[in-house]
Structure 1
Amino acid sequence: SVALTVNGDTRTVTTYAMSVDRLLDEQDVDVKSHDSVTSTTGGNIDEDTVVTVRKAYQATIVIDGKSVPFWTTATSTTQLLNFFRANEKQAEKVTVNIANVYNQLTGGLVIKQDGPVTVIADGKSVTIQNGKLPAASILDAAGVTLGKNDRVNVSLQNGHTILRVHESRTAP
């Protein structure tokens, strides 16, 4: 049996899954790109494995009067404030190459489309109203998590922007 904890709620499950990803899929645990997934055995499932999922949520910090959104899995405001206090000195030294970060998150995919974008994945389509969001944000808003071999393409059909996910299925 395996211990599965999602946002602090633990249950013991019996599974034939050989990997954490397969276990989460089997247990209908939807994991998004900002969520935290840890396991006592890495990516594989063994007897007495403990898998912990912490769902991320978006919060905002104000820096020099400007609101900056970020994703976190903190479970309390104290934890969040302690994180920022502990990293305050290091943060003063940080510079960020935004273009590089954006390219890493989206594979360089830029939508920048006025109006809605329709996301097609898993045979379903979802319309996201803000086409100016980064591709990663549009996919998150549509509830789509990309696998490492999945492919994404963008097309314009009859004046509508379509973001299509081609899933790569591999044998277990």
Structure 2
Amino acid sequence: MNIQHPSRKAVIASAAVAAMTVTGIAGTAVASSFRDVTLEVDGVSIPVSGFMGNVSDVLATAGVEVSSHDLVAPSLHERVSNGQTILVRRAQQYMVDIDGVSTPTWSTATDIDDLLGQVGTKGAIIAADRSTSRAELPALTVSGPIRVVADGQTHTVDARQGASASDLLSQAGVDVSFLDRVVFTSDEQGSFLRVIRVQRGVEEREETLTKEVEEQEDSTLAKGTRKVAQEGSDGSIKRSVYVERRDGQEIVSQVVSENRTEPVKQIVKIGTKETTTASSSSAASSSSGSSATVTGNDVWAALARCESGGNPATNTGNGYYGLYQFSASTWRAMGGTGLPSEASAAEQTQRAQALQARSGWGQWPACARSLGLL
């Protein structure tokens, strides 16, 4: 049997010729006469004989049912003549993706280029495999070049007539996994085959919950001092997330599990004590014969006068140095280098304030007590 695969244009042209022939011989006697015709269904020819007046009679005699989507030429109500060929092209349903929306489309197209042309929308996507399409159409009904786009590269291959998507991928040397999507689409240059890489899996993601810092006034601390009463810590949310990406773009994101650790508030005491009186044990007070008044930042000047007489270079040989009589080990623990007495007064005060914030006024028990800080 000789099986032909005419294009849609050829089918329509044949239908026009057949219609003219029927018109020439129409009549009551002819309509009731016995006829031998050929019925070609999707390229397969079937001889049909019987008393048949029109195309609908031919299909009924042959037991061929057609839907409203199928192409029949001549049309169902056209008269037929002896020896005539009736063409039937069954329509197939395809899922066409346009702007992310899948729409069922019926077509009698004979290749992908024809099908995309009927859709009439640039960028429309048609699956190139049987998993999402009722029929695997060839890329071309004639030999010619066609593009294969994958991984950001375009391969142009010489496709033979009737080549499928698998043939084109093989010619282009492009491997695909069972997850990857292979689709036909089109642009200004025409139809092409596109490979969309798909990755799926579970990812671990962590979100930081920043701790809250609360400041509380404390009248027992000298004004201008800060003390951490409760160490805080950041919290977190750890999630296991199922993710699907297509060509690197995240399409699906679904939380599988979540573990939450709440943050711990940090509490800082802020000194509000306005004034205090230095005892007569202060070197400066003793020399003047009067008590010293400490206000705000003057507390550090008063403490320095009490500890070292206010001399930043003090080195009495007793293992304590500078304005605030740091030991060498404590000085290094606070980030200092060399000896405290070799550092500037500003650096000594800075490190003394840091030590007080961490450990309190008890680092200078005698002078702090005399100044009313303890």
Shared fold (TM-score, shorter chain, > 0.5): no
Computing the radius of gyration from Cα coordinates, the structure with the larger value is: 2
Q: Report the TM-score, using the length of structure 2 for normalisation.
A: 0.22
Which has the larger share of helix?
2
Higher strand proportion: 2
**What is the TM-score with the length of structure 1 in the denominator?**
0.45
